A and B are shown apart, each in its own frame.
Chain A
Amino acid sequence: MPAFLITNNWYDFRDLGNLSGKLLDLLDDALPFGVVYVIAALLGFVASFVIFVLPSQLFVGVYGERKLIGRIQSRYGPNRVGPFGLLQPIADAIKLMQKEALTPTSADRALMYLAPIVFVAPCVLLFAVIPFGPNMVFADIPVAIVYFLAVSSIPVLTTFMAGWSHNNKYSLFGAMRVVAMTISYELPLVLGMLGVVLFTATLGLQSTVLWQKEMDIWLVFLQPLAFAIFFLGASAELNRTPTDIAEAESEIVAGYLTEYSGMKWGLFYGMDIGYAIAAAAFGVTVFLGGWTFFGLEKWVPPWLIFIGKTYLFYFLFIWTRGTLPRLRIDQLMTFAWKFMLPIALLNLVIVATERMFWVEEKADDSIVYAFALINIIAAAAAIYGWSRALGYRPENTPQKARLVSEAGGFVPVDAHGEGSK
């Protein structure tokens, strides 16, 4: 049934790329040559950032996150400003703008002023390559995955700039922690993405989505290990709570944000959420089929499917943030180097073997379902086996409280001189 296929008419709201394309064509006829490129960039900025990302930051990022974490921790969350506390993020923003942005006298003024600004720019750039629909992608470049990884490594430098410029020990600690953690987690993250790229044989994001649409399977089933690595690595690089050692309040005040106040701090806070949304959008595009949903995209606007999936992915970030306690820095480093890196290498070997078999034997495309089955089993076995090999013994965890002597511990001689049993 070929009905409900997305057309190229400008009024087809299922793909807003048609409308903007038509608009730009009309403008190109009316305006002098070249101006339309500037307008296209502005239009892409407004469409993806001002219409999608900013409201998402405010109402999914700030409000939804605080509300959900509140519910997870048996609290109400924001409920004072507006209905259900919905206007809380706007009140927060107004408060932040009114506050004075202080600068310590011993700080490096130029760097401290520049850092929040440079922190915002890559976040806007990241959304340029994210496909919201068949035609709704601003820059469908052939190396979009590498572009995403490259641009998302710039904010690390900015956080270092911020931490160093304060001339404050806690800030520098936070900055050093960010750098150390990013070096550690970038490696498994890139190796995991390499597995995905090997499978799809493309570096573009739109073509990755189309590959999944054509094979009728999401890459999360084909690459469960890579998905796990991406999720863990991304949440570590985003400094979200189970791994937010860079701004651990109980250890180093607020890390690289210690001396920031007012809107300068607000930019960091807001853009942290922006990067989390960008990571969610990237994860959805690469692993969860992007704007496709097994044929549903013919009836429902693809951009709605994409936005829904992005928010659900972001919910995973909120969930881990609300549930898990913060890890120590040595635990995080050990996890990256001893657990994630070997797992990522194993994943790469498996994918390379499968890909070679697929190409050399000229196997049918339906072989991906067999690969999916193999990879899911291999992923479960690898994660379980490797964690046991590293000394994880869940059966040794006591189910109820025990005395020290029962557990085989050392009990010193007590005051009555009876000694240990």
Chain B
Amino acid sequence: MDGFGVTFAFWVLTGVTLVAALGVLLSRNLLHAVLFLILTFVGMAGYFVLLSADFLGMAQVLIYVGAIAVLVLFAVLLTPRAGRDNGETRMFLPALLLCGTLLAVILFVITDTNWAVSEEPATVSAAGLGEALLSRWVLPFELASVLLTVALVGSIMLVRSREEEAEDPR
């Protein structure tokens, strides 16, 4: 990383992301936690832009901030108020253990991997990304879309009422 602007932006983004992530953990109000989580996602999008992966950054904002956050808000609305203000802490120890293990694994992978450093700045263009998705990575791409279709059909089946089912011609 070179240049004052990039370094400055990196530290600002790091600060924002870390503070927001801490906010997710520490805030007692579930809705505040969700909003902090969205701020974390925006910070991650900033990192993508810093790594000159513009399209990924924009997709991060569009998908996480736009869509998933909205769904999380729905989930918040469906939880009762008592369970929202004062979070349960019975699962504190297992959660801590799980997170610690996950962190250890990720840190091990990061330190153990032999990172190839390329001299010229990498550019991930949208066209290149699309071509890679539809040629080399076409199987995972299609699997993901099948998964989404299954989720869609499943959710429709779950919310159908008995009356609607009775109306169905068989």
Partner-B contacts on A (CB < 8 A): 33-34, 37, 108, 110-111, 141-143, 146-147, 149-151, 153-154, 156-157, 160-161, 164, 176, 179, 182-183, 186, 201, 203
Question: Given A146-B62, A179-B73, list of 11 further CB < 8 A pairs?
Answer: A141-B54, A142-B125, A146-B59, A147-B54, A153-B66, A154-B65, A157-B35, A157-B65, A157-B69, A183-B70, A203-B126
Q: Can you sample 30 A-B contacts with CB below 8 Å?
A: A33-B4, A34-B4, A110-B32, A111-B35, A141-B54, A142-B125, A142-B126, A143-B54, A146-B62, A147-B54, A147-B58, A149-B62, A150-B58, A150-B66, A153-B65, A154-B65, A156-B66, A157-B35, A157-B38, A157-B70, A157-B73, A160-B70, A161-B35, A164-B31, A179-B74, A183-B67, A183-B70, A186-B66, A201-B127, A203-B55
A150-B54 contact in complex given A142-B125, A142-B126, C-beta closer than 8 Å: no
| A161 neighbours in B (Cβ, 8 Å) | 35
Closest to A110 in B: B32
| A157 neighbours in B (Cβ, 8 Å) | 35, 38, 65, 69-70, 73
When chains A and B are docked, how far (Å) is the Cα of A146 from the Cα of B124?
15
Which residues of chain B (11-34) have a CB below 8 Å from chain A? 29, 31-32
When chains A and B are docked, how far (Å) is the Cα of A152 from the Cα of B55?
16
* A150 x B126 contact (CB < 8 A): no
We find that the number of chain B residues with CB closer than 8 angstroms to chain A is 24
| A141 neighbours in B (Cβ, 8 Å) | 54
Which residues of chain B (100-140) have a CB below 8 Å from chain A? 125-127
| A186 neighbours in B (Cβ, 8 Å) | 66-67
Closest to A152 in B: B66
* A143 x B58 contact (CB < 8 A): yes
When chains A and B are docked, how far (Å) is the Cα of A201 from the Cα of B126?
10
Nearest chain B CB to A254 CB, angstrom units: 20
| A160 neighbours in B (Cβ, 8 Å) | 70, 73
When chains A and B are docked, how far (Å) is the Cα of A203 from the Cα of B61?
16
When chains A and B are docked, how far (Å) is the Cα of A150 from the Cα of B38?
13
Nearest chain B CB to A233 CB, angstrom units: 14
Q: How many A-B residue pairs have CB under 8 A?
A: 65
When chains A and B are docked, how far (Å) is the Cα of A149 from the Cα of B5?
26
When chains A and B are docked, how far (Å) is the Cα of A153 from the Cα of B125?
23
When chains A and B are docked, how far (Å) is the Cα of A149 from the Cα of B32?
25
Closest to A37 in B: B5
When chains A and B are docked, how far (Å) is the Cα of A83 from the Cα of B32?
48
Nearest chain A CB to B166 CB, angstrom units: 21
Nearest chain A CB to B169 CB, angstrom units: 19
| Among candidates A34, A153, A176, A183, residue contacting B5 with C-beta atoms closer than 8 Å | A34
* A153 x B54 contact (CB < 8 A): no
Closest to A141 in B: B54
Closest to B31 in A: A164
| A153 neighbours in B (Cβ, 8 Å) | 61-62, 65-67
* A143 x B69 contact (CB < 8 A): no
Nearest chain B CB to A204 CB, angstrom units: 10
| A179 neighbours in B (Cβ, 8 Å) | 70, 73-74
Closest to A172 in B: B77
* A182 x B70 contact (CB < 8 A): yes
| Among candidates B5, B32, B61, B70, residue contacting A150 with C-beta atoms closer than 8 Å | B61
Nearest chain B CB to A31 CB, angstrom units: 13
When chains A and B are docked, how far (Å) is the Cα of A164 from the Cα of B84?
14
Which residues of chain B (42-56) have a CB below 8 Å from chain A? 54-55
When chains A and B are docked, how far (Å) is the Cα of A150 from the Cα of B70?
13
* B69 x A150 contact (CB < 8 A): no
Nearest chain B CB to A279 CB, angstrom units: 16
| A156 neighbours in B (Cβ, 8 Å) | 66, 70
When chains A and B are docked, how far (Å) is the Cα of A161 from the Cα of B76?
12
Interface string of B63-91 (1 = CB under 8 A from A): 00111011001100100000000000000
| B59 neighbours in A (Cβ, 8 Å) | 146, 150
Among A37, A146, A182, max chain B CB count under 10 A is at A146
| A203 neighbours in B (Cβ, 8 Å) | 55, 126
When chains A and B are docked, how far (Å) is the Cα of A146 from the Cα of B31?
27
Among B32, B59, B62, max chain A CB count under 10 A is at B62
When chains A and B are docked, how far (Å) is the Cα of A154 from the Cα of B45?
13
| B73 neighbours in A (Cβ, 8 Å) | 157, 160, 179
| A110 neighbours in B (Cβ, 8 Å) | 32
Closest to A165 in B: B31
Closest to A204 in B: B126
A143-B126 contact in complex given A150-B58, A153-B66, C-beta closer than 8 Å: yes
